[in-house]
Amino acid sequence: MQDKCALLVEDNKIESAAITSLFNRAGFRLSAVSDGYAALDIISDNQYDMVISEVNLPSMSGIDLLLKIKEIDATLPVILISGDICVKDAVEAMKNGAYDFLLKPLEAETVECIISGICRTPVFSEQSPMNGKYTIVTKNDEMKRLMNYAEEISNSRASVFIHGESGTGKELFARHIHQFSTRKDKPFIAVNCAALPETLMESELFGYEKGAFTGAIARKKGKFEAADKGTILLDEISEMNYQLQSKLLRVLQEKEIDRVGGTESIPVDVRIIATTNRNIDNLMQEEKFREDLYYRLNTIPLHLPPLRERKDDISLLADYFINKYNKLENKVVKGLTEHAVIELTERPWKGNVRELENVIERAVLMCKGTFIDEKLLSLNGRLLTARPPVYMGQSVAPEVSLRELEKKVIFQTLDKTNGNRTHAADILGISVRTLRNKLNEYRQKMEQQ
């Protein structure tokens, strides 16, 4: 994993040194500048994980800096800090997308909280859900064969195309390939191709020059440049816009990228891994996916089997997740009853391993004894997969509170995305952090009942 690095904008030298030392102790590198213009100059050339800025700066206020940063990179977390409590500033900051507003002097505990919050919030890139730590758990022969194959091809520069239903472990395999390769100490950057509209996706992937379009106030590197010498994961590539597909094909052929509004091509050395859960043959027939791009990407194809075709993995994975959530939630669940194992083995697992993980996570939380029985699993099954009634569009809605309705819509969306919180949050138009908070709230309520 790369070093985490933040940018501090602070004009007071003593405070700047104190904050730098707090972040360094928490394992974050910090570069410091003393005004907003200097910050904007270096943000576009560097991949920071967050920006921390004083509100009252000499030339450009922290709020103005926040607005400008959001134009350059809407996903970059910005934390505003101030020596005085000014409610107006705090409200303004949060309204304009600040990650947090904190009072100085910062304390070590606050810094730890911010860092862990930001590192756990998956947006794009290295801040992905699995962030460095991953284990492929399997005893299935086909999966073992695929893992060996992935290791064998890890050092080739040829593109890999991972096919598989949602939740089968495509991202996990992509990381496995990267970790086994000589590129392992270079960046692994994941981009969800379904997350942004075409124009934004182009500048996200290839970057842009200052003045390329309204609001492009400084040059910004794209994900390809950021992934140079490493690996880029183009997740859900089948959702990529047709025009953008031709630009990607050029990158594959020429091994160089063109920044939006740029005049010179920039050489990049990036290993591409693409994934899809769709049937690409159908998409090519419908002319939604370019055949030439497909053949370029599919140099090394990997097909991950769905969980229902590797039933021998179900109880192994269930035990692995019980262990994981015992540790995370301080529980001491020993395992599954025999009936529970049968129940799990017979399910269709449309959401594959992710769905299994969600079911076990909830069962561990709800388990009052030492073993998970089938009742705990069916309770979870209903919560996760039952389709709530549709109220929208009915002339008279049944009496239901707004909170209840929100909860139902959230579960319905999670159901649609097979439990994928990042996708669900995208659809709901909220951050993954908000979604996680809401789910924790529901879970606490359930536990209290």
CA 18 to chain centre: 31
168 is in the binding site of which of ligand ATP, Mg ion, none (Cβ under 5 to 8 A by kind)?
ligand ATP
Cis peptide before 105 (omega within 30 of 0): yes
Q: Do the Cβ atoms of 275 and 237 come closer than 8 Å?
A: yes
243 is in the binding site of which of ligand ATP, Mg ion, none (Cβ under 5 to 8 A by kind)?
none
Size of the site for Mg ion (CB under 5 A): 2
Compute how many other C-beta atoms are within 10 angstroms of the C-beta atom of residue 409. Answer: 16
Q: Binding residues for ligand ATP, per CB under 6 A?
A: 130, 135-138, 164, 166-172, 277, 317, 353-354, 357, 420
Q: Shortest distance, CB of residue 420 to Mg ion, whole angstroms?
A: 7
- Nearest residue (CB) to ligand ATP, 128 versus 181: 128
Q: How far apart are CA 385 and CA 234, in angstroms?
A: 28
376 is in the binding site of which of ligand ATP, Mg ion, none (Cβ under 5 to 8 A by kind)?
none
Compute how many other C-beta atoms are within 10 angstroms of the C-beta atom of residue 99. Answer: 22
- Nearest residue (CB) to Mg ion, 170 versus 178: 170
357 is in the binding site of which of Mg ion, ligand ATP, none (Cβ under 5 to 8 A by kind)?
ligand ATP
Q: Shortest distance, CB of residue 341 to ligand ATP, whole angstroms?
A: 18
- What DSSP state is assigned to residue 208? B
Q: Shortest distance, CB of residue 162 to ligand ATP, whole angstroms?
A: 8
Q: Which of residues 167-196 bind Mg ion (CB under 5 A)?
A: 170-171
181 is in the binding site of which of Mg ion, ligand ATP, none (Cβ under 5 to 8 A by kind)?
none
Q: Shortest distance, CB of residue 235 to ligand ATP, whole angstroms?
A: 6
Structure tokens belonging to residue 265: 């091509």
- Nearest residue (CB) to Mg ion, 193 versus 363: 193
How many CA within 13 A on the CB side of residue 393? 2
Closest of 134, 187, 166 to residue 276, by C-alpha:
166
**DSSP track, 327-366:** HHHT----EE-HHHHHHHHHS--TTHHHHHHHHHHHHHHH
128 is in the binding site of which of ligand ATP, Mg ion, none (Cβ under 5 to 8 A by kind)?
none
Q: Shortest distance, CB of residue 221 to Mg ion, whole angstroms?
A: 24
Helix (H, G, I), strand (E, B), or coil: what is residue 116?
A: helix
Positions that interact with Mg ion (CB under 5 A) = 170-171
